[in-house]
Chains A and B, each alone.
Chain A
Amino acid sequence: MRRYRWVMTLAVLAGLTAGCASTQQQPVEIRDAWVRPAAAGGETAGYFTIENHTKAPVTLTGIQSDWGDASMHQTVVENNGAMAKMMPVSSVEIPAVGQVTFTPGGYHVMIENLKGDLAPGEHVALSIRLEGGKSLSVTAVVQDQPGGHHH
């Protein structure tokens, strides 16, 4: 029996260490950022997941990029798609110990008047402002579909 207990203990330990891999977790984290390809002068949309590990809500108040004029938008679909609109958004709240995903057909970052061609594989730095004056930096990968890069 003792041997099995050992195996169990090891399994539990392994599980625990895996869970603790990110001990240096930031209070607010942005991951899986990507931007669609587009040509200079045009516009594109960017997406990411923002995680709030703190016990208080965090508010996103704006986005900046050196590549062009960035702003937050939300696609609003009426009647199953009878009308799809892009509405400007001035703030997005991330609930306490929660997350919000910017995703195609929902919240997105719009970058207009692009200063250069965004070809697949290119990297776009985004600066995300939080209420209270802090801002977070994230590098988005230019690609046509979500996914493709993992941590």
Chain B
Amino acid sequence: MIPDKERIALGRMQQRLRTSLVALLLPVLLLSAGCGSTARPTATALRGVALKEVRPAGDFTLTDHHGEPLQMQDLHGKVVALFFGYTHCPDICPLTMSVMSQAAAALGKDAEQVRFLFVTVDPERDSVGVLATYVARWDQVNVTGLTGSQEQLAPVYAQYNVAIEKVPKQNGGYAVNHSAQTWLIDQKGMMRAYLPMGASGEDLANDIRYLLKNP
């Protein structure tokens, strides 16, 4: 049996508890209402590595995964995210494709102002058809696969400091060790930064937004 005094105290406590609950919940509700109306996040700084000397991105013409020529200079007006890889690459390249895919999803409509490029370091196996099948695997992002002859590709690798090391395997096949940064080129065709391996889709989206805002 609870004595009367205690019962009164209990009643007061319940009331106080109710009041404090409302006091606690109200700001939370107001805050979450505020969150709903916030526009897309703004990028105030690059998360990748900014180049100390901004320079024009090397121009080249290669064949895209539809078999059409693509010239780098024609992409002025867009931000370009450029990656070198190969379709037989089991780990790093699908990871970068996923990062690009997540970035495109995060960018939403802004993704229309971006060209995502995947230049092969393995032209021997990465034909136009192979590249077409490969880029189609990531349906949330529009990545253009690019290939060419060894003679066309060698100067491109040199322009973008791409190191390539063919490693023979016991089964007669080979793997290709290669540079794995994602180069970021602004709308004027200037090389501004690169994203190191390990950067997230959110990092890439941030840096693209930054370049779109700071041309």
Contact = CB atoms under 8 A, between A and B. Distances in A.
Interface in A67-113: 69, 73, 75, 77, 80-86, 104-105, 108, 110, 112-113
A112 B179 CA distance: 22
Interface string B169-185: 10101010111110000
Interface residues of B, number: 29
B196 A80 contact: yes
- Contact size range, A: 20 to 34
A145 to B, nearest CB: 6
A44 interface: yes
B95 interface: yes
Closest 6 CB pairs of A and B: A80-B196, A81-B197, A45-B90, A84-B180, A104-B95, A81-B181
A20 to B, nearest CB: 31
Contacts, number: 81
Contacts of B178: 83-84
Contact of B179 (A44, A84, A104, A105): A84
Contact of A37 (B6, B137, B175): B137
B173 A84 contact: no
Nearest to B169: A112
Given A84-B177, A112-B169, A113-B171, A75 B92 contact: yes
Interface string B93-117: 0110010000000000000000000
Contact of B173 (A38, A85, A86, A112): A112
Given A81-B197, A83-B179, A43 B88 contact: yes
